[in-house]
Structure 1
Amino acid sequence: MADDHRFPRWVFGVGQEPDARFSLANERTFLAWIRTSLALLAAGVALEALDLPIERHVRLAASIVLVSLGVLAPVAAWLGWARGERAMRQGRPLPAPTGFALLVVGVLVAGLLVLIGLVAA
């Protein structure tokens, strides 16, 4: 039974209501991504705001990478939540996670920039 009154309709407007435990688990995963996003934003701001012994331009670049990841993570979280919820409603297997590669590469790049900045200072 589709629910045409909940947003987004392209998720809730298809299939049948899944077991609430699975929907709530999907929501907890979404919220974990949001917490990760907040941590990335805070790390990027702190890295630039604190007077750390890191070469200035490299520190700024690492901060930009972290803040950018913090802005993109909620988008990946929402899309991942929606894809998972829609798959459950349609009785299909859960899709592969999205955003993992972006997060891994971004954090790796930011960490390498900080390391380079420490050595160059």
Structure 2
Amino acid sequence: MTHWTRGLLSEGTDPDPRFTLANERTFLAWIRTSLALIAGGVAVEALAEHAFGGVLRHIVAIVLTGAGAVLAASAFHRWLRTERALRRARSLPPPSAAPLLGYGVAVTALVLLVLVVGS
């Protein structure tokens, strides 16, 4: 058992397994979303040269790939905070990455829309 799992399991009491499994499914959903963002960044860089070129394409690809990396890194932290709250019978923490992800994807989609329509 690793250091962080020993520390986590020593806190509070075991929650209902359904809640722990739901937390794990949420973690996996965040990971899938991060993979989709990374794939989108790679696709923009590799396949969108004919649609729009130059520095802006690189920036959009970097933003998408970077957002995917940040989301993947924060997914475990969110899982851990939620699991701790479940074990302590406390309120669940809000998804701090959700506003950034929601607004970030919306802005990126609008930029891509303008670039595709404008070319």
| Structure 1: gaps spanning 5 or more residues | none
Post-superposition shift, 1:6? 5.0
Query: What TM-score, normalized to structure 2?
Result: 0.87
- Partner of residue 9, structure 2: 12
Q: Detail structure 1 runs of 4+ shifted over 3 Å in the superposition.
A: none
Is the Cα contact below 8 Å between 1:62 and 1:111 reproduced in 2?
no
- Partner of residue 98, structure 2: 100
- Partner of residue 21, structure 1: 18
Is the Cα contact below 8 Å between 1:58 and 1:114 reproduced in 2?
no
Query: What TM-score, normalized to structure 1?
Result: 0.85
Percent identity, aligned pairs only, is 46
Across the aligned residues of Structure 1 and Structure 2, the Cα RMSD in angstroms comes to: 1.7
The structure richer in helix per residue is: 2
Structure 1 residues 52-105: Cα deviation after superposition (integer angstroms, max 9, x where no partner): 312422221111110011101112211111111000100112121220011112
Q: Figure out how many residues of one structure are paired with residues of the other and give that number.
A: 117
| Structure 2: gaps spanning 5 or more residues | none
